[in-house]
Amino acid sequence: MVRAVGKSWYFSGDRDVFPGIGELPVAQLSPPLVMAALREIEARGAIETAKRVRQRISAV
C-alpha cells in the first residue's frame, strides 16, 4: 500500500506540480503560485486530484 501511495504522489507531482513550481525553494513558494498550479489541475476537471495535491503541499 505504501508503494502505491508513493507512486501516486510522485506521479501527480511530476505531472501537475513540478513543471510549474518544482524548481523553486520552499521559501519562495507563495499562495498565488500554489493556487495557479491548483487551478490548472482543476481546469482539466481533476478536482479530487487538486484537493489531494493541495493537502500534500500544505503538509510541506
pLDDT at 1 over 60: no
* Cα distance between residue 32 and residue 12, in whole Å: 19
pTM: 0.70
* Cα distance between residue 6 and residue 36, in whole Å: 24
Band of the pLDDT at 59, cuts 50, 70, 90?
confident
Per-residue model confidence (pLDDT) at position 60: 75
**28 or 1: whose pLDDT is higher?**
28
Q: What residue ranges do the domains of the chain occupy?
A: 2-59
pLDDT digits (tens, 9 = 90+) for 2-49: 455 555 555 566 677 777 777 888 888 889 988 998 999 899 998 998
pLDDT at 52 over 60: yes
